[in-house]
């Protein structure tokens, strides 16, 4: 007779000031008490997987995701969870941290954003899950405009350039990048805004999701290559 439990884990990335962050919680109970882990938990008997990960995020961190995609299933290591045989379905999430107020609750002692190059040691196999999530993000940003979920609704073009540089880890020709992005036709130019400090005035933009979906229906293919 099977005795297998199903869990969900969330690899949630945030971005600010040209730094990519990972959302982590400090567990309150169980064998990983006081350890940093990814948000998540066991799926209830009558609960769809996507509803489960949304619930766990809301309960443990007060986060509502703007973008979420099923990432991978982790279960080949039958000892991955000291509580017993647990299969974890991981989800990739993206959100702008500036729109959120973290609040640890239920079985989380704390909830924090950590720069991905300064992560604490993660419990369970969550470092492996994080690495899989980062790999997916770095691949997907080339063929789907998911980066806009990490920016504010209105942004300077230089902020989008910084986002792509940060995620891809590569320098690129700014002029060609701007020309390519604007050629897609799904950015709205909001006009010129004065920057704070010594920066020159620059135009702000907004991603028009309806226009992007309209282009998809017409057979549009999003692709960004960095030489």
Sign, CA dihedral 55-25-132-86, equals negative
Do residues 18 and 96 make contact, with C-beta atoms less than 8 angstroms apart? no
Task: Say which range, 7-11, 41-45, 96-100, 132-136, has the weakest mean pLDDT.
Answer: 96-100
Q: Find, among 23, 136, 3, the residue nearest to 72 by Cα.
A: 136
Sign, CA dihedral 212-214-215-219, equals positive
Helices (H) and strands (E) in the chain, counts: 5, 10
Tokens representing 109?
């002692």
Q: For the residues 108-112, what does the mean pLDDT come to?
A: 96
Return the pLDDT at 197. Answer: 61
Q: Is the pLDDT of residue 66 over 90?
A: no
Return the pLDDT at 195. Answer: 65
Residue 65 DSSP symbol: -
Q: Is the pLDDT of residue 26 over 90?
A: yes
Residue tagged 């040691």 (tokens): 121
Do residues 38 and 24 make contact, with C-beta atoms less than 8 angstroms apart? yes
User: pLDDT tier at 116 (50, 70, 90 boundaries)?
Assistant: very high
Helix, strand or coil, per DSSP, at residue 152: coil
Percent residues over pLDDT 90 in the chain: 79
Return the pLDDT at 196. Answer: 60
Do residues 86 and 92 make contact, with C-beta atoms less than 8 angstroms apart? no
pTM: 0.93
Domains of the chain with CATH codes:
5-140 (3.90.79.10), 146-217 (1.10.10.10)
Helix, strand or coil, per DSSP, at residue 4: coil
């Amino acid at each position: 007779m099977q005795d297998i439990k199903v869990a969900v884990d969330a690899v949630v990335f945030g971005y600010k000031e040209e730094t990519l962050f990972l959302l982590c919680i400090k567990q309150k109970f169980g064998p990983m008490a006081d350890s940093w882990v990814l948000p998540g938990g066991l799926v209830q008997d009558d609960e769809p997987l996507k509803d489960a990960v949304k619930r766990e995020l809301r309960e443990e961190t007060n986060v509502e995701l703007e973008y979420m995609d099923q990432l991978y299933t982790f279960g080949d290591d039958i000892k991955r969870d000291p509580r017993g045989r647990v299969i974890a379905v991981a989800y990739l999430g993206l959100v702008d941290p500036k729109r959120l107020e973290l609040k640890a609750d239920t079985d989380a002692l704390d909830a924090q954003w950590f720069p991905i190059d300064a992560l604490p040691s993660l419990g369970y196999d969550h470092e492996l899950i994080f690495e899989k999530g980062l790999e997916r993000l770095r691949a997907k940003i080339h063929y789907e405009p998911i980066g806009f979920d990490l920016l504010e609704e209105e942004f300077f073009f230089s902020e989008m350039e910084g986002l792509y540089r940060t995620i891809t880890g590569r320098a690129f020709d700014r002029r060609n990048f701007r020309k390519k992005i604007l050629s897609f036709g799904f950015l709205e130019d909001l006009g010129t805004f004065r920057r704070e400090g010594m920066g020159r005035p620059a135009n702000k933009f907004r991603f028009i999701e309806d226009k992007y979906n309209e282009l998809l229906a017409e057979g549009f293919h999003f692709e960004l290559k960095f030489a």
